[in-house]
Structure 1
Amino acid sequence: MQKYLSLLLLSCLMVIEAAAQSRVITGRVQDKSSQAAIRNAVVRVKGTDYMAASDKNGQFTLKAPSGALTLEAIAANYKNAEMQITAGQSSVVFNMKPVAPVALHNDDRALQEVVVNAYVAPVAPSPVSTPPVTQALAGKAAGMVVAHSNVKRRMTSPVAAGRFNTEDYSSINENIFHAATEQPLSTFSIDVDRASYSNVRRFLNQGVLPPQDAVRVEEMINYFDYNYKAPTGKDPVSIYTDMAVCPWNTRHQLVRIALKGKAVDARELPPSNLVFLVDVSGSMDEENKLPLVKRAFAALVQQLRPQDRVAVVVYAGAAGVVLPSTSGSEKKKILEAMESLQAGGSTAGGEGIMLAYKIATENRSAKSNNRVILATDGDFNVGASSDGELQRIIEKERQQGVFLSVLGFGMGNYKDNKLELLADKGNGNYAYIDNFEEARRTFVTEFGGTLFTIAKDVKLQVEFNPAFVQSYRLVGYENRMLENEDFNNDKKDAGDMGVGHTVTALYEIISATDKAGKGVNWVDPLKYQQNTVVGNLPEVLTVKLRYKLPDEDKSQLMQQVLPYNRQQITAASEDFRMATAAAAFGQLLRNSAFKGDITYNEVLQLAASAKGEDKEGYRAEFIQLVKKAQLVNKDKDQE
């Protein structure tokens, strides 16, 4: 009995001592000029894992060590802020300054005459919808139709003398750490898009850093080809897991979850029923827009087989059929139709999408791959243009088996947020085409993955073992997060994988044995949980994956366990090192609160060690982009 009393007394003394050595700091994070609350800012004791996140009112509560210390606040699109805290101080206010907007060069022509030249084959009037251009096209012999209109280009946000920029990106609130005892499950939709990477490349090639919200870290990671082993069983996807020491915070571990889609011989792929939907509005009248669209689609046309079919629909002031559904064997006819397009008019994007879906539905067969491929800068301003209205159109057609892929072009008025939403809701890919090489990769090198889905509504759910994991953070995928209940809900939409696609996700984890990690307190401790967690220590986590076959509505379940393995990142595979380098680079560009102490030089070393065979040169190009960002960042620091 005396022994147990002694243990109880010792435990009480330890609790009292721990309480004496820590304190609670409360405060607010706000915009310096407007005093508006900044949500999801990370406040931490500098150089430690004592951290908290601000709520929607900018408020935070942070457990911190006693004594004097330095607090830092980090928020997207704001300059980092630091504050010295005395031993007795318990309340603070961070006033943060926004970062300067990115200056872009853009065509500043205010008034232009626009001409739409369309190669027209005989078509019958649509019984459902006959907008003006469609009426003009219907019933005419093959020839040219010319429409004239004067359009004043709408520009709003000045970013440089005489220049305007209306590019639009959805805000990204970075994923934060979650305690495994309180939130043991992490659920998200997979993402094979890579538009963010090529868009970031466009900025860096212009000698400027991208806007922080233009950097989606998961798309930086998934831009690269990884040599994962293809599945050999009945499932169209394989799962691999491993872990290593996290290079940007060596107190932490980094877990990699890797997926690989099955490969299919191009000769065995089902026939494609494609509709090219091309934005020919006035905003597309720039060299890196409509002319690049033509070259991109010309690359795709060369890959078509006789059993494939293509139609061409354009939209400007109204939507019209330029080429009815045509066999892939008639390449010259398709290319002539594309080459005849010129830009002009306002942007009836919603009307064009509806017409494209109508044609795709009319030419659908039992086993065909039905897809609308939209090429635009996303600047919809006439017709069905609201995100909600477009989303409902696309979701309805998706259920009928017609998918939507989106190709973004141009700069200055680029609407990344709208195009990403359309592709997500349309069960398709989203790519940004900044040059012809990216077009070649999309439509030639990865033809099957771009156009042919092997698994739809792919979701991942990771269960962490609290005996090993104190807390965890998903790197990226902020706009792909799902509720835990969504995992088993087959009605919940998720991402899709194409032929041969790879998907990589990284988790940063703090070990349950890491005493410094006890400072992570995103939520208050739960009152009724057991004090001791019993688990199988060698198992770090379990990955569960759900997918549906393209023509089915019931999902299939796969599982994979990650056993504990401590290794340095330098000892990990080339693919793991490359994914880690891409993630670290993305976090540096975002000025992430979690970028740790990694530098551009360390990213370069990691990427150089992971270059491997690099047949297409993508990893070598990545190294050059990191060097450009490093140089631009130095210039920025000197301003």
Structure 2
Amino acid sequence: MLCALIAFGASAQNKTYTGLVLDAAGNHPLPGARVLVKETSQGTVTDAVGRFQFTAPLDSFTLQVLFTGYQPVERRVSRADAEIRILMHAQQRALQEVVVTSYPVQRKVNMTGAMVTMSARPHSFVKAEDRYNTNDYSPINENIFHRVKRKPLSTFSSDVDRASYSQVRQMLNSGQLPPVDAVRVEELINYFDYAYAAPVNGDPVAIHTDLATCPWKKGHLLARIGLQGKQVPAADLPASNLVFLLDVSGSMYADNKLPLVKQAFKVLVQQLRPQDRVAVVVYAGAAGMVLPSTSGGHKMKIIDALESLTAGGSTAGGQGIQLAYKTAQEHFIPKGNNRVILATDGDFNVGPSSDGALQRIIEQEREKGIFLSVLGFGMGNYKDNKLETLADKGNGNYAYIDNFEEARRTFVTEFGGTLFTIAKDVKLQVEFNPKFVQAYRLVGYENRLLNDEDFNDDKKDAGDMGAGHTVTALYEIVPVNVPMPEGGGTDPLKYQETAAVKHNTATATEAFTVKMRYKEPDGKKSKLLEKVQSTRVVHFQQSPEDLRMAAAVAQFGMLLRNSQFSGSANYDHIIGLASGAKGRDAEGYRAEFIQLVKKAKLLQETIAAK
């Protein structure tokens, strides 16, 4: 009895404390913040909505809260406190205005778990003027109109990348118009969620189509093709074997690079389960293992490894990728999600850094079932073209993280879609009916085009879709008996219309047919889905809300690209169109888009006035 009373008295002295950690300026939650009892070093981390809970035996103690990029907070807590609310203030650092020009020699630090970190802060800086801007984008040659009687098929790889939109947003928010090659119209369109019906009959993807009048060109039509990936409940997602491959070279020192990388990956860590595993590999002058493969249940251990990272040195990206893949292979999970997640500003300058060498490494590992996702950070020396290529070759998605909200969307709101592939090598082929369609133009997807014969070639790599993801493609169509636009292709051909097409009455009410090929995530042979769109056309103002929103975004992209096909599109029309198609907008992304259009309009007017 005496032992029981002693045990009871000890447990009665314990109290469970709960609380919330918030950004003081925006009042939004801070996931992954470290919450420590200073007297005992006992601690926890905040969850995806900034909440924490722990049990402490002390009557009063000092609570210490730490979060990358924010000023540390210490607060005295007693048993009388019910809900602990912590407000954290972002650190004001002048480094946002500078670029690194020299770095100290790297060093190794002996830490728990054979941890390797890189050197401390750089010591020489200059102002980040425009002449130092070495951002790199692949050139885009805008799609033109094709006559159906000459080219009835349009074939391309599906894509759900959204990096272009967040880069455009970052530039507009900093008061500058993006370079035209940074604007990939399909990525702007696909940044937004659209309410397509879920797939049925066990298919991983559903195809949806519709047809309306074109809002920027009178007499033309606008066709929409939408793909909806199946939702997978979090409990049913396969176990993950992840390797975080983090660039800690000197160029990553700025606040919007390595500090934001830490915040982003701490958000991801909060989503992991005990059956998931994470390793952390870094690279600068050389590659090193910071954290061996660790259960997702040990969140504090993973977060401590992330917090230990500092920036310095050159950029041995090729060596880092090789070590990351080796680590992923050693802990490979059959039927699981085996993936390397690369975070970098894209500057590879030591070791196997050529596009060809890196691509071959990634393609070989892709065939073994290890995929690659890429997250880009920062501007000034950003290698968009290289990062996009690496993600494409690695059967993964490519995102640009310009702020904490984008990190939250990528790793919390769309966790399944970001990390879990439901269909790979997804290809689309559209066949247009020459009885109804004279010519067509695919809006965007210039760097996703495939040869028509690639559609049936299962060896040809293509895009991938994650759980719950959507893909949207728009075609501008010139109907039969409508004048072709200037520069709209070749003269009509003499011999191409066959008797089968001319006399086939079954196709009289069909505008086009969409075919989609895909493979299961671990499959080798593709499967085929089809959808036929009738010739029924609705007036644009009566078309679905999501179609009107997609059309507004497409016009915005065309204006930013100075497209010759933008027709009557203008910023005021886009603002009105998007405002009328905003809908529920639970996350506020469509409202944010309207503000971006207003900023672009002002910048264009300022340039025109000079």
User: In 2, Cα distance between the equivalents of 1:318 and 1:230?
Assistant: 46
Aligned to 1:270: 238
- For the residue of structure 1 that corresponds to 2:438, the secondary structure is strand
The aligned residue for residue 277 of structure 2 is 309
Deviation at residue 462 of structure 1 after TM alignment: 0.2
Deviation at 1:164, TM superposition (A): 1.0
Distance in 2 (CA, whole Å) between partners of 1:260 and 1:325 is 34
Q: For the Cα contact (< 8 Å) 2:518–2:528, is it kept in 1?
A: yes
CA–CA distance in structure 1, aligned partners of residues 109 and 188 of structure 2: 38
Q: Confirm or deny: 8 A CA contact 1:252 1:508 kept in the other structure.
A: yes
Pairwise CA RMSD: 2.1
What is the match of residue 341 of structure 1?
A: 309
1:512-531 aligned within 5 A? 512-514=480-482, 516-517=483-484, 521-530=488-497
Taking structure 1 as reference, are residues 119 and 444 closer, same or farther at Cα in structure 2, changes over 3 Å only? farther
State the one-letter code of the partner of 1:449: G
1:577-612 per-position Cα deviation (integer Å, ceiling 9, x unaligned): 111111111001111111111110110111011111
Change in Cα spacing, 1:473 to 1:303, as seen in structure 2 (3 Å) is same
Q: TM-score, normalised by structure 2?
A: 0.81
**What letter matches 1:257 in structure 2?**
I
CA deviations 1:139-168 (Å, max 9, x no partner) are x5x6x756579899999xx964xx510000
**Is the 2:513–2:532 Cα contact (8 Å) retained in structure 1?**
yes
Equivalent of residue 207 in structure 1, options 157, 161, 175: 175
- Structure 2: 5+ residue stretches without partners: 1-95
Matched, 1:404 2:375: no
| d(CA) in 1 for partners of 2:488, 2:399 | 38
**Deviations 1:472-492 (CA, angstroms, capped at 9, x unpaired):** 000000000000000000000
Q: Where does residue 587 of structure 2 map in the other structure?
A: 616
SS for the counterpart of 1:223 is coil
Distance 1:479 1:262 in 2: 26
- Preserved contact between residue 423 and residue 465 of structure 2 (Cα < 8 Å): yes
Displacement after TM superposition at 1:567 (Å): 1.8
CA distance in 2, matches of 1:286, 1:391: 28
Say if 1:151 and 1:346, in contact at 8 Å, map to a contact too. no
Q: Secondary structure at the match of 1:329?
A: coil
CA distance in 2, matches of 1:440, 1:117: 32
AA aligned opposite 1:367: K
**Which residue of 1 is the match for residue 449 of structure 2?**
481
User: What amino acid is the match of 1:543?
Assistant: V
CA contact 2:426–2:518 (8 Å) conserved in 1: yes
1:457 aligns with 425
Residue 588 of structure 1 is aligned with which of 559, 579, 584?
Answer: 559
Shift of residue 568, structure 1, vs aligned partner: 1.9
Residue 101 of structure 2 corresponds to 110
1: CA distance between counterparts of 2:363 and 2:121? 33
SS of residue paired to 2:332: coil
Equivalent position to 1:388, from 351, 356, 360: 356
Alignment of 1:13-92 (within 5 A): none
Q: 1:386-428: per-residue Cα shift (whole Å, max 9, x none)?
A: 1111110000000000000000000100000000000000000
CA displacement, residues 301-350 of structure 1 (integer Å, 9 cap, x when unaligned): 00000000000000000100000000000000000000100000000001
Contact 2:106 2:285 in 1 (8 A): no
* The 10-residue stretch of structure 1 (435-444 or 357-366) with the greater mean CA deviation from structure 2: 357-366
Deviations 1:355-379 (A, max 9, x none): 0000001101212100000000001
Q: Secondary structure at the match of 1:113?
A: coil
Larger mean CA deviation between 563-572 and 603-612 belongs to: 563-572
Question: For residues 406 and 134 of structure 2, what CA distance do their matches in structure 1 show?
Answer: 24
Establish whether residue 570 from structure 1 lines up as the match of residue 538 from structure 2: no
- d(CA) in 2 for partners of 1:405 and 1:357? 12
Structure 1 equivalent of residue 413 of structure 2: 445
Counterparts of 1:484 and 1:572, CA distance in 2: 31
**Could you tell me which residue of structure 2 aligns to residue 246 of structure 1?**
214
Q: Residue deviations 1:68-105, cap 9 Å, x none?
A: xxxxxxxxxxxxxxxxxxxxxxxxxxxxxxxxxxxxx9
* Alignment deviations for residues 207-247 of structure 1 (CA, whole Å, 9 cap, x no partner): 11100000000000000011111112121000000011111
Aligned length: 511
User: Equivalent residues in 2 for 1:163-562 (5 A)?
Assistant: 163-514=131-482, 516-517=483-484, 521-530=488-497, 534=502, 536-562=507-533
Query: Do 2:291 and 2:302's aligned partners in 1 also have CA atoms closer than 8 Å?
Result: yes
User: In structure 1, how many angstroms separate the alpha carbons of the residues matched to 2:125 and 2:363?
Assistant: 31
Question: Counterpart of 2:98 in 1: which secondary structure?
Answer: coil
Amino acid paired to 2:305 = A
Q: Does the CA-based 8 Å contact 2:120-2:310 persist in structure 1?
A: no
Separation in 2, partners of 1:154, 1:420: 29
Structure 1 position 461, deviation (Å) = 0.2
Give the whole-Å Cα distance in 1 for the aligned partners of 2:151 and 2:599. 40
Structure 1 partner of 2:39: none
Structure 1's 153 and 366: CA in aligned 2 closer, same or farther, altered over 3 A?
Answer: farther
Deviations 1:485-513 (CA, angstroms, capped at 9, x unpaired): 00000000000000000000000000012
Contact conserved, 2:136 with 2:382, CA < 8 A, in 1?
A: yes
Structure 1 residues 145, 198: CA separation in 2 closer, same or farther (over 3 Å shift)?
closer
1:389 and 1:208, CA in 2 relative to 1: closer, same or farther beyond 3 A? Answer: same
Identity of paired residues, percent? 65
Residues 153 and 415 of structure 1: CA distance in aligned 2, closer, same or farther (over 3 Å): farther
Query: Quick one: distance in 2 between partners of 1:511 and 1:432?
Result: 38
Cα offset, 1:119, TM superposition: 7.7
The question of whether the paired residues in 1 share the 8 Å contact of 2:100 and 2:251 is answered with no
Alpha-carbon contact 1:151-1:345 (below 8 Å) kept: no
Once residues 395 and 437 of structure 1 are traced to their aligned partners in structure 2, the CA distance between those partners, rounded to angstroms, is 31
- CA distance change for structure 1 residues 242 and 362 in 2, over 3 Å: closer, same or farther? same
Are residue 632 (structure 1) and residue 603 (structure 2) matched? yes
- Which secondary structure does the structure 2 equivalent of 1:553 belong to? coil
3-state SS in 2 of match to 1:302: helix
Separation of aligned partners in 1, 2:488 and 2:534: 26
Cα distance in 1 between the residues matched to 2:412 and 2:497:
56
Q: 1:554 to 1:442 in 2, by over 3 A?
A: same
Contact 2:439 2:479 in 1 (8 A): yes
Task: Determine the C-alpha separation between the residues in 2 that align with 1:146 and 1:512.
Answer: 64
Partner AA of 1:572 in structure 2: S
Tell me the distance in 2 between the aligned counterparts of 1:288 and 1:119.
28
Tell me the SS of whatever aligns to 1:517: coil
Q: Distance in 1 between matches of 2:382 and 2:251?
A: 10
Quick one: distance in 2 between partners of 1:119 and 1:288?
A: 28
Query: Structure 1's 518 and 168: CA in aligned 2 closer, same or farther, altered over 3 A?
Result: closer
Deviations 1:222-279 (A, max 9, x none): 0001111111212100000001111111220000000000001000000000000000
The one-letter code sitting in structure 1 at the alignment partner of 2:496 is Q
Structure 1 residues 383 and 154 mapped into 2: Cα distance closer, same or farther (>3 Å)?
A: farther
